[in-house]
């Protein structure tokens, strides 16, 4: 993970529509959501990260999930084309922020759906990308070409895990955790360079794979003690945080953190 990240305070966060199976109209406790986000921000501050902020726009409740804004690499940012109309206005606000902060922005062809680091990870000169629900395979090919990265594409099969960052997380150069029910056996074999640790169904539903990893620190959604212990036994410091209010929208920690 890079040491520079972008966060968005949940000033107007809510669940006001449904664009994934997690969004069931359950009321958000906004006071608790802010408390949970502040705890995340505080913990990330202890990791010695360069934390940047974008202001949330009223009427764009999912803007708090900054990972979906695009993908940044070598001062270039490819801005997302959100699949659902409810989120499309976010793109302009993110683009303006990156322009104001000195980044070179690249727009995708409008016909291609792409949801940024919700569906891609840059790792060892590779673009590991998930497609099938929110991001098009053609978009992954376009992004990898623009960023001059080798593409490893993974088809997502389970609508509950509609973004790659909900079902796969790289821990280090040789280790990753994943939800086996989100991929076919053929797809997961493409990740042959990793030792892959499976999360349980319960851990997958607790968004264990939506963890933030920085050096030997792992910030993980709570109620994932089994996988946390496995990683702790391998020398990682694992911190668990309650993200109940954000899971109501189908997101958690990694969804709220964009590496820039």
Q: What is the mean pLDDT of residues 163-186?
A: 97
What CATH number does residue 216 fall under? 3.75.10.10
User: How high is the pLDDT of residue 2?
Assistant: 72
User: How high is the pLDDT of residue 61?
Assistant: 98
Please answer whether residues 74 and 147 qualify as being in contact, where contact means their C-beta atoms are separated by less than 8 angstroms.
yes
- Summarised one tens digit per residue, pLDDT across range 128-170 is 999 999 999 999 999 999 999 999 999 999 999 999 999 999 9
The pLDDT confidence band at residue 1, using thresholds 50, 70 and 90, is low
- Catalytic positions are 163, 255
Question: What letter would DSSP give residue 178?
Answer: E
Angle at 253 between CA 113 and CA 75, to 5 degrees: 55
- Summarised one tens digit per residue, pLDDT across range 97-113 is 999 999 999 999 999 99
Domain that holds residue 113: 4-259
Give me the long-range contacts of 81-87 (CB less than 8 A, separation at least 24): 81/108, 81/110, 81/112, 81/113, 81/114, 81/139, 82/113, 82/115, 82/134, 83/19, 83/113, 83/115, 83/133, 83/134, 83/135, 84/19, 86/17, 86/19, 86/62, 87/19, 87/60, 87/62
pTM: 0.97
How many domains does the chain contain in total?
A: 1
Q: What is the mean pLDDT of residues 41-45?
A: 97
């Amino acid at each position: 993970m890079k040491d520079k990240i972008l966060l968005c305070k949940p000033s107007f966060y809510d669940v006001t529509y449904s664009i994934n199976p997690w969004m069931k109209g359950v009321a958000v406790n906004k006071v608790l959501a802010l408390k949970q986000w502040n705890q995340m921000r505080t913990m990330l501050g202890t990791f010695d990260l360069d934390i940047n902020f974008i202001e949330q726009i009223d009427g764009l409740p999912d803007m708090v999930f900054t990972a979906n804004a695009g993908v940044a690499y070598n001062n270039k940012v490819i801005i997302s084309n959100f699949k659902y109309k409810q989120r499309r206005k976010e793109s302009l606000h993110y683009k303006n922020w990156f322009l104001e902060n000195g980044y070179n922005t690249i727009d995708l062809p409008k016909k291609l759906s792409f949801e940024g680091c919700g569906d891609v990870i840059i790792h060892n000169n590779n673009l590991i990308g998930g497609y099938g629900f929110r991001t098009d395979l053609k978009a992954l090919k376009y992004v990898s070409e623009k960023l001059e990265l080798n593409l490893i594409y993974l088809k997502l099969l389970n609508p509950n895990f509609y973004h790659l960052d909900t079902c796969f997380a790289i821990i280090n150069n040789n280790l990753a955790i994943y939800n086996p029910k989100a991929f076919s056996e053929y797809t997961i074999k493409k990740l042959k360079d990793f030792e892959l640790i499976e999360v349980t169904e319960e851990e997958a539903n607790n968004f264990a794979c939506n963890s933030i990893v920085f050096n030997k620190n792992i910030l993980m959604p709570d109620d994932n003690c089994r996988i946390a212990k496995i990683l702790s036994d391998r020398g990682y410091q694992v911190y668990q945080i309650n993200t109940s209010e954000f899971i109501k929208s189908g997101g958690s920690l990694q969804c709220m953190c964009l590496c820039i």
